[in-house]
Structure 1
Amino acid sequence: MMSIERGKIPMESQTSTQPSMGEDPSSQHTPSRYESQKRRDWNTFVQFLKNQRPPVPLSSCTGVHVLNFLRYLDQFGKTKVHALGCVFYGHPEPLGPCSCPLRQAWGSLDALVGRLRAAYEENGGTQESNPLAGSVIRVYLREVKEKQAKARGIPYKKKMKSKKKVGSPS
Structure 2
Amino acid sequence: MSAAIAAAAASACYSSTTKTSRTENNHNRQHQNHSVLSSLSVFSPSPPLVLPLFSRYETQKRRDWNTFLQYLSQHRPPLALSRCSGAHVLEFLKYLDQFGKTKVHAQNCPFFGFSQTPAPCPCPLRQAWGSLDAIIGRLRAAFEENGGRPENNPFGVPAVRLYLKEIRDEQSKARGIAYEKKKRKKAQNVEQPNFG
Question: Shorter-chain TM-score category?
Answer: 0.7 to 0.9
Match of 1:73 in 2: 96
Match of 1:123 in 2: 146
Equivalent residue for 1:42, pick from 40, 65, 68: 65
Q: Given the superposition, is the C-alpha separation of residues 126 and 143 from structure 1 closer, same or farther in structure 2, using an over 3 Å criterion?
A: same
Deviates more, 1:52-61 or 1:104-113: 52-61
- Paired amino acid for 1:82: H
Counterpart-to-counterpart distance in 1, 2:172 and 2:70: 31
Match of 1:103 in 2: 126
Deviates more, 1:28-37 or 1:42-51: 28-37
What's the TM-score once normalised by structure 2's chain length?
A: 0.65
If each structure's helix is expressed as a fraction of its own residues, which one has the higher value? 2
Counterpart-to-counterpart distance in 1, 2:159 and 2:73: 22
Q: How many residues align?
A: 137
**Percent identity, aligned pairs only?**
61
Counterpart-to-counterpart distance in 2, 1:59 and 1:46: 11
Structure 2 residue runs of 5 or longer lacking an equivalent are 1-48, 185-196
State yes or no: 1:113 paired with 2:136. yes
Match of 1:23 in 2: none
Counterpart-to-counterpart distance in 1, 2:55 and 2:136: 18
CA deviations 1:131-159 (Å, max 9, x no partner) are 00000000000000000000011233569
Counterpart-to-counterpart distance in 2, 1:158 and 1:79: 20
- Paired amino acid for 2:131: S
Deviates more, 1:31-40 or 1:128-137: 31-40
Equivalent residue for 2:86, pick from 45, 63, 74: 63
Counterpart-to-counterpart distance in 1, 2:74 and 2:160: 21
**How large is the Cα RMSD of the aligned pairs?**
2.0
State yes or no: 1:142 paired with 2:184. no
- Paired amino acid for 1:55: P
What SS does structure 2 have at the residue aligned with 1:41?
helix
Instruction: Report the Cα offset of residue 68 of structure 1.
Output: 0.5
